[in-house]
Amino acid sequence: MAEIESFKSQSNWFHPSRRPYRYAVLFIVSLLTFGSYFAYDSVGAIAPTLITALGIGRESIGQMYTLYSIAAILSVFIGGLLIDRIGTRRASLLFSVLVTVGALIVALAPNIWILYFGRFIFGWGSESLVVAQSAIFTRWFKGKELAFAFGIGLTISRLGTLFSFNTEALIAEYFKNYSAALWAAVIFCVLSLLANALYIFLDRRGERILKLQEEGGGDKIVLADIKKFRSSYWYVTLLCVTFYSAIFPFTALSTDFFNSKWGLPLTAGSEGGFFTQVFYNVIHMFSTAGGTTTIIIFASMIFAPFFGQLVDRFGKRATVMVGGSILMIPAFLTMAFTIIPPALPMIVLGAAFVMVPAAMWPSIPLIVEKNRVGTAFGLTTTIQNIGLALFPWLNGLLRDATQAYTASMVMFSMLGIVGLIFAILLLRADKREGDKLEKVDIVAS
């Protein structure tokens, strides 16, 4: 104890109350989900390889995402409650272990059924870990820095997706075994688990010195609250379902789509050692099938924080959601019926992926009462995952049945049309309810 206090006095710049300490916590906690984001899309990034090596159809790839989302639906009801019961430190460590174990089962799976089981365990831990991460950010950054903390956390997490789509195919090719790519996902999950252990050390020290209060798990569904929600909330939730049911199920098989229709290579190719090839592939990411997928992820990482600030400054949230929904429709139809290079419609889709989430998620606290925000987010996430469970499977099923992705792209464009209808209904409902989403200075009801 004396040594710790001596260190504190000698290195006061790293006191828990000071910015360097809190930013160290921010960076480390952001790493908690880096591994899970990497592992989530690892099967999509090497989908063409898995299809050949395992002798499976595209429907099976979609089912890997479906089982993840089914686990996510169940975890919404338990994850937040567990955080409240045992605290964020123990809960986050448990969820990190589940993520790592799930990724390990996937890497070791001798058949498709064990692989499915691993994805289910992985999904249970991964979605609960996101809830725990949110509680940790609230614990350390409550106030004006909270939005900044969430933005940094999401950016670092999505780096996992970016690296997954741009390195997993190379890893499988370099080591001449698809399981090597799945083991890479395990390694990143282990690194995230180690980051969790480091967070626990820093959090315990901060709690002792600053007397930090434990934050609730959040996003918990209270059934009695549901009947109190206005129509505007339900339109936001339905838009959320249609939007994400088009984006993420599409990316689950987009690497295979871009490879089969446009002949985009799975890797950029390069000579030299492994890390030299990794660097080359990342630098030339947009020339590959997997890299083209990450255009929308790259756009959200770079532009979403700035666009979020614009929405906060100028309002017009419902209008922005209408605009983003419109962009989705021609993007998918272009990929369905033309041979225009997919990078161009993907840029349009990336713009939609920046606009809609930046306006949609911050809208929920503005249209529900403060004491029902947790229920609102939990219910929206649950309903969203129902769509994420259904449409990856439908995407693969349509591809296997038609031997092309045209029907899938039409399906996703139809989701865009339905989402546009919900966005327009939201705009009309918001006008009836006092333009809460369109105004700039908003106080939640």
Q: Which residue, 179, 196, 220, sits at the end of a domain?
A: 220
Please give the pLDDT value at position 188. Answer: 97
Please give the pLDDT value at position 314. Answer: 80
What's the rounded mean pLDDT across residues 355-359? 88
Is residue 8 scored above 60 in pLDDT? no
383 plus 272 within the same structural domain: yes
Helix (H) or strand (E) holding 330: helix 317-337
* Token pair listed for 331: 């993007």
Is residue 11 scored above 70 in pLDDT? no
- Quick one: pLDDT band at residue 114, thresholds 50, 70, 90? very high
Q: Is 330 a member of any domain?
A: yes
Matching residue, tokens 């929600």: 229
Q: Is 9 a member of any domain?
A: no
Question: 20-29, 138-147, 232-241, 393-402: which range is least confident on average?
Answer: 138-147
Whole-number percent of the chain with pLDDT over 90: 56
233 plus 216 within the same structural domain: no
Domain count, the chain: 2
Q: Is 436 a member of any domain?
A: yes
Q: Is 382 a member of any domain?
A: yes
255 plus 191 within the same structural domain: no
CB atoms within 10 A of CB 263: 8
209 plus 236 within the same structural domain: no
Please give the pLDDT value at position 224. Answer: 67
Greater model confidence, 16 or 248 = 248
Is residue 220 scored above 80 in pLDDT? no
Per-residue pLDDT tens for 250-272? 999 999 999 999 999 999 877 78
214 plus 233 within the same structural domain: no
Amino acid at residue number 419: G
Is residue 309 scored above 80 in pLDDT? no
236 plus 204 within the same structural domain: no
Distance from C-alpha of 430 to C-alpha of 433, rounded to nearest angstrom? 5
Matching residue, tokens 């922005």: 320
Q: Which residue, 220, 244, 262, sits at the end of a domain?
A: 220
Please give the pLDDT value at position 21. Answer: 86
Please give the pLDDT value at position 349. Answer: 95
Per-residue pLDDT tens for 387-420? 999 999 999 999 999 999 999 999 999 999 999 9
The answer to whether the CB of 188 falls within 8 A of the CB of 160 is yes
- Quick one: pLDDT band at residue 351, thresholds 50, 70, 90? very high
208 plus 287 within the same structural domain: no
Query: CATH number, domain at 95?
Result: 1.20.1250.20
Q: Which residue, 220, 242, 275, sits at the end of a domain?
A: 220
Distance from C-alpha of 66 to C-alpha of 68, rounded to nearest angstrom? 5
- Quick one: pLDDT band at residue 10, thresholds 50, 70, 90? very low
Please give the pLDDT value at position 214. Answer: 56
Q: Is 4 a member of any domain?
A: no
253 plus 213 within the same structural domain: no
174 plus 290 within the same structural domain: no
Is residue 139 scored above 80 in pLDDT? no
178 plus 315 within the same structural domain: no
Please give the pLDDT value at position 444. Answer: 40
Distance from C-alpha of 109 to C-alpha of 37, rounded to nearest angstrom? 20
Domain that holds residue 334: 225-445
- Quick one: pLDDT band at residue 71, thresholds 50, 70, 90? very high
411 plus 280 within the same structural domain: yes
Query: Does residue 200 sit in helix, strand or coil?
Result: helix
The model's pTM is 0.86
Q: Is 7 a member of any domain?
A: no
Mean pLDDT across the chain: 87
Please give the pLDDT value at position 270. Answer: 75
Phi, psi of 53 (to 5 degrees): -70, -40
Q: What is the DSSP letter of 175?
A: T
Per-residue pLDDT tens for 98-113? 999 999 999 999 999 9
CB atoms within 10 A of CB 147: 16
148 plus 69 within the same structural domain: yes
Q: Is 353 a member of any domain?
A: yes
Whole-number percent of the chain with pLDDT over 70: 91
Please give the pLDDT value at position 9. Answer: 47
* Token pair listed for 285: 């990411």
Q: Is 93 a member of any domain?
A: yes
